[in-house]
Chains A and B, each alone.
Chain A
Amino acid sequence: MSGHSTYVPKTGFERWLDSRLPIIRLANDTIITFPTPKNLNYWWTFGGILSMMLGLQIVTGIILAMHYVPHVDYAFNSVERIMRDVNYGWLIRYMHANGASMFFVAVYIHIFRNLYYGSYKAPREVLWILGCVIYLLMMATAFMGYVLPWGQMSFHGAVVITNLLGAFPIVGDAITTLLWGGFAVDEPTLKRFFSLHYLLPFMIAGVVVLHVWALHVVGQNNPTGIEPKSKADTLPFTPFATVKDGFAMSLFLILFATFVFFMPDALGHADNYIPANPLVTPSHIVPEWYFLPFYAILRAVPDKLMGVIAMFGAIICIFALPWLDTSKVKSMRYRPQAKLYFFIFLVVCVILGFCGAKLPDDQVIPGLTTFKLVDSDLNSFVWLSRISTLYYFAYFLVVMPLLGLFEKPLPTPETISSPVLGGEHKD
Chain B
Amino acid sequence: MLRKVTLLAAALLLVGGPALANTKVREPEPVAFSFEGPFGRYDQTQLQRGFKVYREVCSACHSMNLVAFRNLGDPGGPFFNPEYSAAKGLTSNDNPVVKALAADTQIADLDSETGDAVQRPGIPADRFPAPFPNVIAAKASNGGLAPPDLSLMAKAREGGPEYIASLLQGYGPPAHGVTLSPGQHYNAYFVGGVIGMAPPLAADKVSFDDGTKSTVRQQAEDVAAFLMWTADPHMEARKQMGFSVLIFLVLFSGLLYASYRRVWRNESH
Contacts and interface: CB of A to CB of B under 8 A. Distances in A.
Interface of A: 38-39, 77, 80, 83-84, 90-91, 94, 235, 239-240, 243-244, 246-247, 250-251, 253-254, 257-258, 260-262, 264-265, 270-271, 273-274, 283, 365-369, 420-421
Interface string B227-269: 0000101100011011101100110110011011001100111
Contacts of B246: 254, 257-258, 261
Given A80-B152, A247-B259, A270-B156, 7 more contacts: A84-B66, A250-B249, A254-B253, A257-B246, A264-B238, A274-B156, A366-B9
Interface residues of B, number: 42
A283 B191 contact: yes
Contacts of B17: 366-367, 369
A39 B267 CA distance: 10
A257 B245 contact: yes
B221 to A, nearest CB: 20
A261 B263 contact: no
B260 A273 contact: no
Given A243-B259, A254-B253, A273 B267 contact: no
Contacts of A83: 234
Contacts of B9: 366-367
B203 interface: no
Contacts of A264: 238
Given A80-B152, A240-B264, A270-B158, A261 B242 contact: yes
Given A247-B256, A261-B239, A273 B12 contact: no
Which of A77, A84, A244 has the largest count of B CB atoms less than 10 A from its CB?
A84
Interface in B118-160: 148, 151-152, 155-158, 160
A247 B245 contact: no
Contacts of B263: 239-240, 243
A253 B231 CA distance: 26
Given A247-B256, A273-B156, A273-B231, A254 B13 contact: no
A226 to B, nearest CB: 14
B15 interface: yes
Chain B interface, DSSP helix/strand/loop, else mixed: helix
A260 B234 CA distance: 13
Contacts of B157: 270
B172 interface: no
Contacts of A244: 260, 264
B156 A271 contact: yes
A254 B234 contact: no
B233 A84 contact: yes
A317 B152 CA distance: 42
Which of A38, A246, A367, A421 has the largest count of B CB atoms less than 10 A from its CB?
A367
A425 to B, nearest CB: 9
B16 interface: yes
| For the complex of A and B, 5 pairs with smallest distance between CB atoms | A261-B242, A367-B16, A367-B12, A273-B156, A247-B256
Contacts of B239: 261-262
21 contacts: A80-B152, A83-B234, A84-B233, A90-B234, A240-B263, A240-B264, A243-B256, A243-B263, A247-B256, A257-B249, A261-B245, A262-B239, A262-B242, A264-B238, A270-B158, A270-B160, A273-B152, A283-B191, A366-B16, A367-B12, A367-B16
Contact of A368 (B12, B155, B234): B12
A38 B266 CA distance: 12
B38 interface: yes
Interface in B167-191: 191
Nearest to B74: A84
A415 B157 CA distance: 58
Contacts of A38: 267, 269
Nearest to A151: B156
Contacts of B231: 273
Contacts of B66: 77, 80, 84
A366 B16 CA distance: 8
A273 B242 CA distance: 23
Contacts of A91: 238, 241
B13 A366 contact: yes
